[in-house]
Structure 1
């Protein structure tokens, strides 16, 4: 198995869509304090699920990967993500500015966990994606601790290339897998199409990167993990590795799609 790193963010987004389809979450416009009421005292009552999905929540979070005392290190190596989430504060008004930080996706993870009630996120992943897509290999999702652990939804889903490719195929086919709708077409389109609302950007939507205006999209991990999808060209590219190297992968993928 290969670590996904931040490709897990895109899979977390899929599960949020499944939870909405299942009626466990009402809509992306819900304030996250409906699920994490302890953050009300920290001023999070105006932060919505959509803000987290679009990375426009305004949370204060140090994304540095080299600072051993930063938030990213605390989330990656810490033993109590729920406690770390409880310390979160805002630095800007929600919905005004894009800021790519992993704290947004971990907040989505806690929203998802609270909505599931009697299931873990991993169990929900198995039920909604791994079993229906008939994945070829088992996978694992790292948690913060053994007892009552919370999945690190901002990273750390460990799987094989073929199975990551199946996730790309699922979204290429607008959430449909061999005639069965796994996640709604509406969610797939909403997640991967350009949004022009205030605070949004033209290269990112619901935890998916948008490399061009041509309806292609991709999941990306920090060390060169990619699932690139171009529905128009019927093209899926998976690239895994321990290093990104000096290659400009966005340009490589879009150039291949153009020539395909």
Structure 2
């Protein structure tokens, strides 16, 4: 994806309300900057009311450094599914995925819907282990034949009976999206629907399984910068509206980020977004501690990118910081 020639930039606070210390372990105060650096952070932004209150980079990274989203890309995939429904390319979340991936009928996946994939309730067999070199997650991440791997997926339990977080669900969403786009690539669609309208500051890329006729790894691997990740949070903070232009349907944003277990989904996960509480906040999350946290009640966005989680409980930190704004 290419950057905008006229990028949107957040305001810089004249008198930033930047945290100086952080209380951890119940009552121990630590210097905020030092805590972020020592816990493997590479970028941390706090944005309220479109104004940057805190922005720092660590461990050799800077504003222009590219960071892999890992599973934060799942939330972006969900955005694009919402766009595709609005564009009439996909009828609804209740459609069977075999309407787009008919080869899966022979595998017994006739009853799996797009909704099941979004909510991680498909019941599809998938080994999510990140340490097992022979697991499905490793094959999807390192392999060069995603379409083949997807065509071999089979049910483990009937859909709608259990929540189980697996990257296979999101990659199947990518397969559905690819077929719905009818020749346009997922990267091209992201450029058209999100990257260009959001006036991104930097170029970005979505990793493919192979260079020729490759398929986007929609379960992971959107490569971008911290400020542009923050704009994805701003888009949802404003209910899919970007400076007067409705890019993602407001109802889709609402459905994606509300606590709802009526269809068998988990209370902490909805439409590829994590729900850290029942108070309206939500976040995109990736392995090694990549986060875009959104708190609508405080009109607040926090981006944390890292080499690892460190020893920090980032969800707790985000909610603690939000209370102070």
- TM-based fold match above 0.5: yes
1:92 to 157, 173, 188: 157
SS of residue paired to 1:219? strand
Partner of 1:31: 96
Partner of 1:174: 239
**1:259 Cα deviation after fit:** 2.2
**1:84 Cα deviation after fit:** 0.3
2:189 to 92, 107, 124: 124
Structure 1: which 4+ aligned runs deviate by more than 3 Å? none
Partner of 2:168: 103
Mapping of residues 49-68 of structure 1, within 5 Å: 49-68=114-133
SS of residue paired to 1:124? helix
**1:35 Cα deviation after fit:** 0.2
Higher helix share: 1
SS of residue paired to 2:270? coil
Partner of 2:58: none
**1:197 Cα deviation after fit:** 1.1
> Is residue 201 of structure 2 the alignment partner of residue 136 of structure 1?
yes
Mapping of residues 1-260 of structure 1, within 5 Å: 1-260=66-325
SS of residue paired to 1:191? helix
Structure 1 Cα separation of the partners of residues 88 and 322 of structure 2: 37
Structure 2 Cα separation of the partners of residues 199 and 245 of structure 1: 33
SS of residue paired to 1:158? strand
Structure 1 Cα separation of the partners of residues 160 and 133 of structure 2: 29
Structure 1 Cα separation of the partners of residues 91 and 203 of structure 2: 31
**1:257 Cα deviation after fit:** 1.3
How well do the aligned residues superpose, as a CA RMSD in angstroms? 0.6
Once the two structures are superposed, residues 52-98 of structure 1 have per-residue CA deviations (whole angstroms, 9 ceiling, x without a partner) of: 00000000000000111110010001111000001101101101100
Unmatched 5+ stretches in structure 2: 1-65
Once the two structures are superposed, residues 101-135 of structure 1 have per-residue CA deviations (whole angstroms, 9 ceiling, x without a partner) of: 00000000000000001200000000000000000
**1:138 Cα deviation after fit:** 0.5
Once the two structures are superposed, residues 137-172 of structure 1 have per-residue CA deviations (whole angstroms, 9 ceiling, x without a partner) of: 000000001111000000000000000000000000
Greater Cα radius of gyration, structure 1 or 2 = 2
Structure 1 Cα separation of the partners of residues 113 and 309 of structure 2: 33
Higher strand share: 2
